[in-house]
Amino acid sequence: MSYYSLMAKEENKMDKIVSLCKRRGFVFQGSEIYGGLAGIFDFGPRGVELLNNLKRAWWNANVYQKDNYYGLDVGMFKHPKVWEASGHTTGFSDPLAECKKCNTRIRVDKILNTIGVNADEKMGEGELNEIFDENRDKIACEKCGAKDFSKVRKFNLLVKSNLGDFTSEGSDPVYLPGEACQGIYLDYKNIVDSMHPKIPFGVAQIGKAFRNEISPRNFLFRVREFEQADTQLFIRPNENKEAYENIKKDRWNWFLSLGIREENLKFKQHENLVFYAKDAWDVEYKFPWGFDELEGIHDRTDYDLTQHMKFSGTDLNYIDQETGEKYIPWILETSMGLGRLFVAVLDNAYMEDELGGEKRVFLSLKPQLAPVKVAVFPLLKNKPQLVEKARGIYKTLKKEFGAVEFDDNGNIGKRYRRQDEIGTPYCVTVDFDTLEKDAGVTVRGRDTGKQERVSEKDLVEYLKEKIS
């Protein structure tokens, strides 16, 4: 099966998710009114709520709930020498070939891997070209079907920018960050000097990254601008094995805590390691196109701090205040693109069933993650008393839960279906019994569609218990 037929295997579900994201205000194509920009997306009103909920869940697990972990937020621009020290200016590249007929670019290593041919980023251009030439007859252009490609060349993924006087001849170029973690290494000494942490200690951050991706694909999975959630655990040299296994267990359990089903997750160890890694594992998620990387867990040894000490001339040794021992810490890293997490959570939550004799789509999101916690309806929009009462309840709930919507557009069934697609766990309906019999309101649960009457005075506590 070709790479492109593999991508199309379950594209129907992916197409449905992408359509839902546009229709319900989760994700929009960047610069859409101008025809769009490949690999660039905007998070809409409901998408940014889901994204922020995921960030909060990650920050809580990796900063608030851990001892000796510190949060950080670094600037995007960094000294040009940073990327030289990190190896990105020479080693941060993907193998590229172009269709000679229509100029479509392909990612050669990924294409070869899908037809069972081993290729990785560590291979030189000569080796890649040799393998590619042996398999050209099995690879066709996804756009025009031609099998006539250019030679393979390495394409650096760093995005160049202009800052200050860096446009001058002979000056070093400045880059947008290819990965977010470098800022943690640059501020490592500042954290040690200001916070006086004892080894082991960790640093967590959520930051922007940019990559000149050859072929952005699979919605938010491979894009040119994205956010990374990274942790870096600084440990004593050679004390990595137990800590590494603990991190793997911790990350696995965190994904489960989001409601991701265990059968949709697996670990995969890297056979071909990048230049900085002693060991590397991926947490993979079963996306519509198959299992693929969700998060990387890397044993980086002392590579990063050693390189930055060499290039900057700054002493980055850690001095143990109890023993007086001096050493460069090793680093254990977790790194995840939040767009990939966003897609995984949506895919995991996407459900189709039949309710009340009608087919429906709903997002079975955990209430803590749902972009809208509660929706409030008046049974009829043309009855002022119902609308007024519903508005009052809406304002009360909004003070308590924040992410609450008032919805009076269309009949009640359409409103339920709309909120189901958004992933709203509970809908509150004000009807005539609410007004005339003081019978409370109707609360409907998303996943089951079951309804129950809840008194107005008990409503907040009832929902708190359900949503917490």
% of the chain exceeding 70 in pLDDT:
95
pLDDT for res 360: 95
- Coil/strand/helix, residue 246: helix
Q: How far apart are CA 173 and CA 162, in angstroms?
A: 8
pLDDT for res 122: 66
Q: What does DSSP say about strands 225-235 and 265-269: parallel, antiparallel, or unpaired?
A: unpaired
Confidence band (pLDDT; 50, 70, 90) for 141?
confident
**Sequence-separated (6 or more) residues with CB below 8 Å from residue 309:** 315, 316, 317, 328
pTM of the model: 0.88
Confidence band (pLDDT; 50, 70, 90) for 24?
very high
pLDDT for res 5: 37
DSSP 162-206: --TTTTSTTPPPEEE-SSSTHHHHHTHHHHHHHH-PPSSEEEEEE
Stronger pLDDT, 248 or 125, i.e. the higher one: 248
User: How many other C-beta atoms are found inside a 10 Å radius of the C-beta of residue 368?
Assistant: 17
pLDDT for res 2: 37
Q: What does DSSP say about strands 451-454 and 225-235: parallel, antiparallel, or unpaired?
A: unpaired
Confidence band (pLDDT; 50, 70, 90) for 8?
very low
Confidence band (pLDDT; 50, 70, 90) for 369?
very high
The pLDDT tens digits of the residues spanning 315-368 come to: 999 999 888 999 999 999 999 999 999 999 999 999 999 998 899 999 999 999
The pLDDT tens digits of the residues spanning 237-252 come to: 999 999 999 999 999 9
Confidence band (pLDDT; 50, 70, 90) for 212?
confident
- Coil/strand/helix, residue 11: helix
Domains of the chain: 3-85+165-346 (3.30.930.10), 93-156 (2.20.28), 372-467 (3.40.50.800)
Mean pLDDT of 99-126: 80
Nearest to 397 by CA among 450, 443, 436: 443
Helix (H) or strand (E) holding 252: helix 241-257
**Sequence-separated (6 or more) residues with CB below 8 Å from residue 327:** 236, 237, 317, 318
pLDDT for res 165: 60
Mean of per-residue pLDDT scores for the chain: 91
Query: Nearest 5°: phi and psi at 438?
Result: 50, 40
Task: Give the burial class of 340: count Cβ atoms within 10 A of its Cβ; 0-12 exposed, 13-18 middle, 19 or more buried.
Answer: buried
The pLDDT tens digits of the residues spanning 59-92 come to: 999 999 999 999 999 999 999 899 888 888 877 7
- pLDDT at residue 169 tops 80: no
Q: How far apart are CA 57 and CA 39, in angstroms?
A: 26
Determine which of 108-112, 165-169, 300-304 has the lowest per-residue pLDDT on average: 165-169
Q: How far apart are CA 34 and CA 295, in angstroms?
A: 33
Q: How far apart are CA 89 and CA 236, in angstroms?
A: 29
Contact (Cβ atoms closer than 8 angstroms) between residue 208 and residue 177: yes
pLDDT for res 279: 94
Stronger pLDDT, 79 or 173, i.e. the higher one: 79
The pLDDT tens digits of the residues spanning 403-434 come to: 999 999 999 999 999 999 999 999 999 999 99
Confidence band (pLDDT; 50, 70, 90) for 121?
low
Helix orientation angle between 338-349 and 45-59, rounded to the nearest 10 degrees: 110
User: How many other C-beta atoms are found inside a 10 Å radius of the C-beta of residue 160?
Assistant: 11
Mean pLDDT of 268-294: 91
Contact (Cβ atoms closer than 8 angstroms) between residue 319 and residue 325: yes
* Exposure of 404 in the CB half-sphere (CA atoms within 13 A): 23
Q: How far apart are CA 220 and CA 292, in angstroms?
A: 13
Read off the tokens for 22: 């546009």
Q: How far apart are CA 452 and CA 47, in angstroms?
A: 29
Confidence band (pLDDT; 50, 70, 90) for 126?
confident
